[in-house]
Structures are given as C-alpha cells and as structure tokens.
Chain A
C-alpha cells in the first residue's frame, strides 16, 4: 500500500508541476514607437499602451557597394563588462589592415581609460579616489569623469532624482556592485534604519560640485555625512549605470574617425551602438523577454545609426521568499526596485544619457514613467515591460 500511495503522490506531484509549467504569465508592454515600426513576437507580452510623443526624425542612408566587404569581430574585456566589436569593410584595400589595427587599439584605449576613470573596483580610479576622499574635499579628475558626472547630474535633475549614482552603500548592502555575497535570508538584509541612512546620504548627490580651471577638471565631495553604527560615512559613487553608455558614445566617434560605416559595438548587452548592417542596411533587433528562460524576442524593430541602452531586473537578482531583489536600487526607498517595471529600453540620442534614463524609468513605476516619456523623452524610442 505504501508503494501505491507513493505512486499516487508522485503522479499528483508530476501533474502539479506540469500544470505550473504550462501556466503562462502575461506581461504588459508600453512603447512610444509608432505601431508601424515594431512587431510584438511573443504572445506572453501584450501591448498595454502606445505612449504618445515620439517624433524623432529617421536618418537617411545612401546605398553603397559593399560586395567586397567582409566582417571582423573581436572581444574586448573591461572591468565593467565584456564587449564585442564587429566591423565590416573591404579589408583587402591598401592600408585597411593597418587602419583596422589602429581602430582596435583606439577602442581598447577608450575602454581602459573608462576603467581607470570610472570603475569603483579599480584602485586609484577617479571614482575610487572620490569614494576614499573625506567629505568636503576637492579632487582632480580626468575629463572623462568630468563629462560622465556632468551627464549624471543632468539626468539626476531631469528625472527628479530617479537616477542617482550615489546609492553606492545601498547597492553594496544588497549584495551588488562587486559585494562579496548576496543576503541569503531576510535576517541578512540591511535594516530599515541603515537603508534610510544610506538613502539620505545619496539624496545629497545634487551637491556634488564640478568645476574646470586651466584645462583641469575637479569634483568637490559634498560635506554631508551620516553615521551608521559607529562609522561616519561620506558619499560614494557607482557610475556603472552610465559608464558603459559613455564608452559607447566615444566608440561611436571612433567609428566615424576611422571611416567605418558598418558594424556594431555591444558593451555588455546593456549599451549597444548600431551602425549600418553590411547585408541589409538596418539591423533586425529583437528585445528578449525579461525573465524568460529561452530568451526569445518579445518585440522586434529595425535600428540603424542609433545607440541603445537597456536595463532589466533579470540579469542580476536573487529571491528571498517571494520577493525579488535586483541590482537596480530605487532612490525613493533605497531598496531594490519593486515598481513592477521589469525592463526598459531606450533607443536614440546619446548612450550615456540613455544608460542612466533606463535605470531612472525602472524606478518611476508605470504611470510616472508614461508621463515622463510623453513629456521629456520625445526624441527617443522608449519601450518598457511591466508585470
């Protein structure tokens, strides 16, 4: 009888698992792209609303004879993420190999410079020196860091603080940004008081003061500090949410400088530059469904001569109980974002700003995000998905 009971229990368990596997969750898609420019290709994703306001002009491209072109690809490694570069050209023509080698070196130099300037894990990077400096101190920084901080402050103001790169302690407390380990239970999560202190400190990001004198660049750290336990903490930065986009902007310039019209540069799949495709002109871009196992595309559109940034809660996350903790921190709560927005993609404009904007929109929640996109992002293509 025991075996019989076990068999029935196993069959029931199998049935429940099969039912759970078959049960489909439907997600909502919001976009400001005109309906003619995209298709929804996964039935799990339903268009919830077309947001008004998109009016960017499409660039015109001349047809070019590319019959002699071949494509070369190579990986680059940076502290922020792996990158992949594809360039198409007639590599048999005089000087083409030399030009390609120089171009690769220039790309590598940009990535190294960005690491040296912006990585919080590289010793003596500008960001590390800022983080180690005492409150109120002014330090000299590279032009790259100055530019990125300027962009960060612009998006911080544009989004009313929904993008905030000063949430360093919150990111670390929740186990992201190079922290040693994730919390494994609720008791290992930071206390509400601690989170409130970290968030209060970050809310003073607007006081970060940038200046330029005689070709040198400076940043002054805010005077404000908080005390957590017995420690007095001054502001620390994590520019991971904007640095990759900045590198993509610089490499876009290198494509033009070295005369390459065809190819793409993918920096960690979160910031991508699309030049023209040598076969088809445009790239058939598929945005893969957040939280989907097979990574099939839920939306397809064409891109050419544009930069893209995307953020989602499906790359870096963990679950405690039924709560999902992802790497994007909401500046309003100081905790991993719980607004229901699962992913955001911004196409067009500068990639550094787009990189920061995707993070900000994730933190806004659906209604505020729609209002923001309609009011302030009328020159970019924005798509986001909700639970």
Chain B
C-alpha cells in the first residue's frame, strides 16, 4: 500500500462518526415505528365475557365485578380464587369448562365432554375481536362489549 493511500485511509477515519450517525438514525427510526405501531393499534382490551347457550345468556363476568349467575349457571358451578374463575356450563348436550384468568384478563376453554373438543383449540379470548364456539353444545363465549349503544358508526 502506498503512503498516499495510507494517508487517505487515515483521513477517512473521520467518516466513522458519520457511519454511526446513519446507523443511529436507522435504529431510532425503527424504534419510533415500533413504538408508534404498538401504541396506536386498536387492541380493544377485554372487559369481560358473556356465555350463551343456544343464544340464551347463561353467565356473564366483567373483570373486577361479581359474576352474574342464571338458572343455568349458578354459584355452585363456579370455583373462584384471587386469580381465576373456573366455570362449569352444563347444557342438555354436555358440559364445558371455562377458565377465566383475572390477572391476564383472558378467557379460554379448559375442558369439554364432546367428541371433537374443537372449542379447546380456539385461541384464548384476550381482546374484543375473539370468541369461542362449541358447536355440539351450542355454546358461545363472546367478549362483553360495553359500547353497543354507541350511536356513532363508521362503515
């Protein structure tokens, strides 16, 4: 390597800071986009669930409040502790067991006595866009939507 080239490389050292600035800008841009995405997306946190059997309400629970029982699901059908509720729903076609995690605010099906147990493969309900459905028992678990009366609708 010629002396001239060595001198040039030495002079070019100063551009390393410029490299760092570009890398820094890229990192900050990615971080900002990441933060914006997670803070502005519509997550609709779950406020509670309503359980239907053949479209009839059999149980309702809103996080932080007392469960609402009916003739079909009584207090005897619910095991409650500080972090969860386990709800047994008996329909004329069979039994489903629902697990409500109070801390994570999620709801999932824990057990069912039907053959396929399809409802166990539903993802836990963690926001207002999910539901669980047990076709053999006609049981449906839906988010407790609090704003159905809101007259503002955008289509």
Q: In the complex, which residues 126-155 of chain B have their Cβ closer than 8 Å to any Cβ of chain A?
A: 131, 140, 142, 145, 148-155
Asked whether A277 lies within 8 Å of B151 as measured between CB atoms, the reply is yes
| A-B pairs with beta carbons under 8 A, tally | 74
State the CA gap A310–B153 with chains docked (Å).
14
C-alpha gap A23/B55 in the complex (Å): 50
User: What 1/0 mask marks residues of chain A from 213 to 251 whose CB sits below 8 Å from any chain B CB?
Assistant: 000000000000000000000000000000000000000
Q: Does A64 contact B (CB under 8 A)?
A: no
Considering only residues 236-279 of chain A, those with a C-beta below 8 Å from chain B are: 264, 266, 269, 272, 277-279
Asked whether B149 lies within 8 Å of A3 as measured between CB atoms, the reply is no
Q: A104-B55, A272-B155 are in contact. Are A73 and B148 (CB under 8 A)?
A: yes
Pick the interface stretch among B15-23, B92-100, B102-110, B111-119.
Answer: B15-23
The yes or no answer to A120 lying at the interface (CB within 8 A) is no
Tell whether, in the assembled complex, residue B155 and residue A285 are in contact, meaning their CB atoms are under 8 Å apart: yes
Q: How far is the CB of A29 from chain B (nearest CB, A)?
A: 16
CB-CB under 8 A for A74 and B149, given A4-B15, A101-B54, A101-B56:
no
- Of residues 17 through 65 on chain B, the ones whose CB sits less than 8 Å from some CB of chain A are 18-19, 22, 50, 52, 54-57
Interface size on B, residues (CB 8 A): 22
State the A residues within 8 Å of B (CB).
3-4, 6-7, 10, 71-75, 86, 88, 91, 97-98, 100-101, 103-105, 264, 266, 269, 272, 277-280, 282-288, 295-297, 308, 310
Q: Show 30 residue pairs from A and B whose CB-CB distance is below 8 angstroms, ordered by the A residue.
A: A3-B19, A4-B18, A71-B148, A72-B50, A72-B57, A74-B140, A74-B142, A75-B131, A75-B142, A86-B148, A88-B149, A91-B57, A97-B57, A98-B56, A101-B55, A103-B55, A266-B155, A269-B155, A277-B149, A278-B149, A283-B151, A283-B152, A283-B153, A284-B151, A284-B152, A284-B153, A287-B154, A288-B155, A296-B154, A310-B155
Top-9 shortest CB links A-B: A104-B55, A71-B148, A286-B154, A280-B151, A101-B55, A277-B151, A101-B56, A279-B149, A284-B152
